[in-house]
Chains A and B, each alone.
Chain A
Amino acid sequence: MTELLVGTKKGLFALEGDPGAEKPFEVSARAFPGDAVEFAIRDPRSGRYFASVTSGHYGPRVMYTDDPGGDWEQTTGLAFPEGDDWSLERIWSIRPGEADGLMYAGVAPAALFASTDGGLTWELNRAMWDQPTRSSWQPGAGGLCLHSIATWPGDPKRLAIGISAVGVWLSDDAGETWRHGNAGLVPRYVPEDSQGDTIDLCVHNMHRAPLRPERLFMQFHGGVYRSDDAGQTWNSIAEGLPADFGFPVVLDPADPDSAFVIPLVADTDRVTVDGRVRVFGTRDAGESWTSLSDGLPQDGAYLTILRQAFDREGEGRGLGLYFGATSGDVFGSGDAGASWFTVREHLAPVNSVRVA
């Protein structure tokens, strides 16, 4: 049985089903009706569920529960210091860290929070908050958001984070200090003579290969990249894709040469290319890409898949892949993308998909 947590514009949907059956999953729970759920995960260490909820009236917060169909409690500490002229707008990402009880949350406007008690209370990372360039940081279309947090397996000191649109930041001391990791990224949306100097770098999504942690894959705002030196430098691997724009990227944890992306036409037309919904996968670190579309809509399907709306379960031949679109449709594959089935139709616009 697979459980998916689908964050939508109108609440959280927990879906349950068997990917081997290749039939729609059941809605096992709905929470926060009417509010946007930006992101939801289950921490496998504690079994606790977390949801980032943004009320149009009452603001953003992270809620937690042991039962997504039951009562949810509010976490504390996710707020900016009084006196600073910033207000928390949205929590984009929540993920476990590499130490007992350690968790991270990435928010907008761009900031990193950490928890050492399993996500119940949170504290702002001051080193990132106090970056002297902050006043010049530019938002992407989704806001000034810290959305990608790549931990280093077994080493809680090493972190890579991605911010739209302030590039990649690296730390080797558990977030006490930060440095840029942007070499090689080409922002086509700024003049050529400024591309080498700018920090206006719109990272869309970034993940680390757990078996080769110095390797990261990134979907950029126009570009797909790989780093083999822990995020210091980046090389384009977009050759062979029908478009290099898109939002999410997913990796097979058993294969450090693997990555999966869902190309969209361009930043001016953020829908699947040619009206065909296709996942593209590489098993040779981006040297070549294969279209994985069997079972996905291939005629008149102009979908948008957002950065947190693609996830995996398992690994290798048994890799499961799941993604949701702003159309409210969710698709899944139980065989590493070789074939796909419709997990659920007609939900609210999907912000995020995570396997529980």
Chain B
Amino acid sequence: MAVIKLRAPLKDLAGGNREITIDGASVGQVLRELEHRHPKIAGWVLDEHGRVRRHLNVFVDGERVREDARVAPDATLHVLPSISGGSR
């Protein structure tokens, strides 16, 4: 099972959980399952088309990836704001 690590505001939307263990073969599957377990996150990380939002970065074991990347069973995922989206 992969571990996904969350910071605010996603942590708050996930009931205060900093780490969640989730099964999934791809980043997209893991994030969909995250939405399923914590519906308040729906739309925050993935857009209508299941794509990671443009100004977010997802890292799997330290490597920046997109939604179609493979996830090993013992992988660690981070979802972090990119530096490009914060100051409109």
Contact = CB atoms under 8 A, between A and B. Distances in A.
A254 interface: no
Contacts, number: 47
B49 A36 contact: no
A61 B44 CA distance: 9
Interface string A82-114: 111111100000000000000000000000000
A80 interface: yes
B78 interface: no
A154 interface: no
Contacts of A55: 85
Given A57-B53, A58-B9, A59-B53, A80 B48 contact: yes
A57 B82 contact: yes
A54 B9 CA distance: 14
B88 A36 contact: yes
Contacts of B47: 59, 87-88
Interface in B61-88: 81-82, 85-88
Contact of A56 (B10, B44, B86): B86
Contact of B86 (A57, A79, A81): A57
Contacts of B25: none
Count chain B CB atoms within 10 A of each CB in A54, A58, A83, A86 and give the residue with the most. Answer: A58
Q: Which 4 A-B pairs have the closest CB atoms?
A: A56-B85, A57-B81, A58-B44, A57-B85
Interface of B: 9-10, 40, 42-45, 47-50, 53, 55-56, 81-82, 85-88
16 contacts: A54-B88, A56-B86, A56-B87, A57-B53, A57-B56, A57-B85, A58-B56, A59-B44, A59-B47, A59-B53, A61-B43, A74-B40, A82-B50, A86-B48, A87-B48, A87-B49
